[in-house]
Structure 1
Amino acid sequence: MIDIPSFMLALGVGNIAFAVLMAGYTHGGPPNPGLRLWMWARFGIGVCQLLGWSRPYLGIPALNSIEGAGWVLAVSLEVAAYCMFFGFERWRRVLVPISALALGVVFAAASAGAPVSSVSMLVASIVALFAAAMAWILLRPRSHRVSLLQRIIGANDGLFAVMVALWAASGVSSVPMGQGAAQEGVFMAGYLLMIVNGFGFLLLCKQKDDLEMTRLATTDSLTGLPNRHAFLERADLARQAALRMQQPLALVMIDIDHFKQINDRFGHATGDEALAEFARTARGVLRAHELLGRLGGEEFAAILPGTELIGARQAAERLRLAVRGATVITSGTSYTMTVSIGVVVLHPGEALGAALARADHALYVAKNGGRDRVETGMPQPQPQRYALA
């Protein structure tokens, strides 16, 4: 048999300790509303568990309703933290009325003089519903990106919801089997909840922060395209894949014509808008599996897997015409961009740097030939072979 009062005391102290740990983790860092709400939820749950432990010793009747209301508020905050973390937009419209209704029911039952056991079972039912909601948020079937960590936390929430619901049902059942066993199950599930969810939510936040840092390190902030380092890294992976599968791979170099004149005539803000407009236009022309990146300034590049030279040139022409049809809006006037494009197809075993040099030379020819045009790069020079006399 579990010593329930001691277990409740340990859970209360543990949850408050987690809340203090989270306060130290978030102090001085970037604002994280979801983690802050979760911290207060853990603190509230810990306080409620300490109230439950102290209630038999203090003998204050009002503690029953205060503890029940505290549980409703705490689990509501925890649900809100998950909603904020996963980007639910309308969660307040649903959660706030439900939480207010649950609080009203708990206070009404306590004010009507309901027995402590009945109020406890009512609160347990509400907590089970909220825990089930958290499990659904983490494991929702329509989500295609449920990580293993989410599954572990969600399964733990689901287990806790089931155990609390069984405890609530045992309180109103006439079968004498087992309210004590159900209560022990709840406290064991609560212990797992404290450990798994305590570290789990923190790890979820860290994963999200790490992904954001990776995105910032590999993405051009102005256009949203891969930056030079990320593009070259992915382009080389595409080159290796094309070599393994013996498929063609085209490389396209693109330069916005007279970009300096755009900045000088309309200002750098218009120049930035021109870059962003080009990126939007190019993404609309290229296929989903084709990679576009910004190499720097007004220079861009694209990798077209499975594309021969004729198809790559046709794609480049479509891109050129689409850019001509796009309009950059300035203050009072509009500006039409043009681009010069160089196209090559990588030879088997050719290094990415060599292909980039050939594409860049084709781009140079396009710009010298009048701009607003597509040029094809020269074939890779083959080593000379000398016959023996």
Structure 2
Amino acid sequence: MIDIRTFMLVLAIGNIGFAMLMAGYARTAAASPALRVWAWAKLVQGCAHLLGWLRPDLPWIGVAVAANTFLIAGAASEAAAYCTFFGYARWRRVLYPCTALALLAMHGARFAHASPNTLVILMSMIIALYTAAMAAILLRPGAGHSMLQRLIGLNGLAFFAAMSLRAYSGIAHGHMAVFAPGAVQSITYLAGYLLMIVNGFGFLLLCKEEDDQQMARLATIDSLTGLVNRRAFFERTESARLLATRLRSPIALMMIDIDHFKRLNDRFGHATGDEALCLFAATAQQTLRDHDIMGRLGGEEFALVLPGTELEGAVLAAERLRGAVSAAHMSVSGGTYGMTVSIGVVVIDPNEHINSALARADHALYAAKSAGRDRVEVGQSRLRVVAG
């Protein structure tokens, strides 16, 4: 059998070490609030185990009360970190009252002179419930789980089973105590050690994974409109073009420009201009299919690729987009402002470079502006451009 007191010291050092590791990571990265909460949770849990290790040498009731308080607060903080990480908005309404109730039950039982066996059963049940809640968050139905997330969740379920077994053993046999040796105690502390290692590194990797995804989004998304930026647009369009060539499927391209955008900026200011760009992007996204590719090339110029679309379908889509933008209005000083767009449409020929197709669409866009704006023009075919 393992030495429970020594194992408690190992858990204390491990949790405090993880708290220091996460605090260091938080200082060198744009850490989420969840990571900071998690670091505090590990620190509090480490202090709880350290106080538990000291209890035989400091047999004061205050040490036991502090150890139990820190252990429950640490478990609650860990649950709070998961709720924060996964974006739960109202977790405080549930977690705070439950934690207060758990503390009241634990300390009430102690000051009512409950037996050590009863106190162990009660604490085991409290920690088991917190662990079950965290596992439920990680493994909730309907959410896309990464392998890392599933591993952490299953590890939490294993610890929940160990704590439940500990509580059951105390109820069934009536001789459970904090430092009492036995197979159930050994299983519980080994499961706790595994939980500390897997969840400690796991949560750190989850935060790193989220940071990497955020960096990838920043590298590909226009921060103002939420559309893909110029570089990402060219990369995705080239992939779509190559796929269309292999499948011998049509692929259409639009160049889109907001009419009189400079006049809008000069009259109402750049903040209003930014609002107009955002309104256009939001309106356009409502008319797109999931696999369409729309990007902001710069300023008020946008491009849209429609895979699997012939010229006739592309013109209909362009007219639908033009009408939706015309119907959208935004508030400006003194009233409302209605935008219009001019659109040039072409079909990308097989093996045509994207720059060539963009040039043809841009010529069509210029023709739409020259013809009075707020209209759709079809670009010349590639053969006519080359022949000319």
For the aligned pair, the TM-score class normalised by the smaller chain equals over 0.9
What is the CA distance between 1:59 and its match in structure 2? 2.4
Q: Deviations over 1:109-141 (max 9, x none)?
A: 000011223212211110011001000011101
- Partner residue of 1:256 out of 249, 255, 258: 258
Name the residue aligned to 2:281: 279
Separation of aligned partners in 1, 2:119 and 2:41: 21
- Aligned residue pair count: 384
Separation of aligned partners in 1, 2:270 and 2:40: 46
What is the CA distance between 1:343 and its match in structure 2? 0.6
Aligned amino acid, residue 37 of structure 1:
V
Separation of aligned partners in 1, 2:328 and 2:119: 66
Alpha carbons of 1:182 and 1:382: their partners in 2 closer, same or farther (altered >3 Å)?
Answer: farther
Name the residue aligned to 2:218: 216
Separation of aligned partners in 2, 1:189 and 1:81: 21
Separation of aligned partners in 2, 1:151 and 1:383: 56
Separation of aligned partners in 2, 1:344 and 1:383: 12
- Partner residue of 2:358 out of 342, 356, 359: 356
Q: Deviations over 1:162-218 (max 9, x none)?
A: 111101111111399997111111111111111111111111111111111221221
1:126-275 aligned at under 5 Å gives the runs: 126-143=126-143, 145-174=144-173, 180-275=182-277
Separation of aligned partners in 1, 2:366 and 2:6: 78
Does residue 4 of structure 1 match 2:4?
Answer: yes
Name the residue aligned to 1:309: 311
Aligned amino acid, residue 78 of structure 1:
E
Q: Is the Cα–Cα contact under 8 Å of residues 293 and 301 in structure 1 kept in the other structure?
A: yes
1:83-94 aligned at under 5 Å gives the runs: 83-94=83-94
What is the CA distance between 1:28 and its match in structure 2? 6.0
User: Comparing 122-131 with 6-15, which one deviates more in the overlay?
Assistant: 6-15
Separation of aligned partners in 2, 1:357 and 1:118: 79
TM (normalized to structure 1)?
Answer: 0.94
User: Comparing 86-95 with 52-61, which one deviates more in the overlay?
Assistant: 52-61
What is the CA distance between 1:32 and its match in structure 2? 3.0
Q: Deviations over 1:83-125 (max 9, x none)?
A: 0010000100111111100000001000001122321221111
What is the CA distance between 1:244 and its match in structure 2? 2.0
Separation of aligned partners in 2, 1:260 and 1:32: 39
Separation of aligned partners in 2, 1:382 and 1:266: 42
Q: Is the Cα–Cα contact under 8 Å of residues 4 and 181 in structure 2 kept in the other structure?
A: no
What is the CA distance between 1:23 and its match in structure 2? 1.8
Give 5+ residue unaligned stretches, structure 1. Answer: none
What is the CA distance between 1:334 and its match in structure 2? 2.0
TM (normalized to structure 2)?
Answer: 0.94
Alpha carbons of 1:175 and 1:246: their partners in 2 closer, same or farther (altered >3 Å)?
Answer: farther
Identity level (%): 56
Q: Is the Cα–Cα contact under 8 Å of residues 3 and 181 in structure 2 kept in the other structure?
A: no
1:328-343 aligned at under 5 Å gives the runs: 328-343=330-345
The SS at the match of 1:344 is: strand
Q: Is the Cα–Cα contact under 8 Å of residues 25 and 31 in structure 2 kept in the other structure?
A: no
Name the residue aligned to 1:112: 112
Does residue 319 of structure 1 match 2:321?
Answer: yes
Separation of aligned partners in 2, 1:270 and 1:69: 53
Separation of aligned partners in 2, 1:86 and 1:179: 38
Separation of aligned partners in 2, 1:32 and 1:25: 11
Q: Is the Cα–Cα contact under 8 Å of residues 68 and 120 in structure 1 kept in the other structure?
A: no
The SS at the match of 1:300 is: strand
Separation of aligned partners in 1, 2:10 and 2:382: 72
What is the CA distance between 1:266 and its match in structure 2? 1.8
Alpha carbons of 1:243 and 1:201: their partners in 2 closer, same or farther (altered >3 Å)?
Answer: same
Aligned amino acid, residue 276 of structure 2:
A
Separation of aligned partners in 2, 1:161 and 1:308: 58
Question: CA RMSD for the aligned pairs?
Answer: 2.0
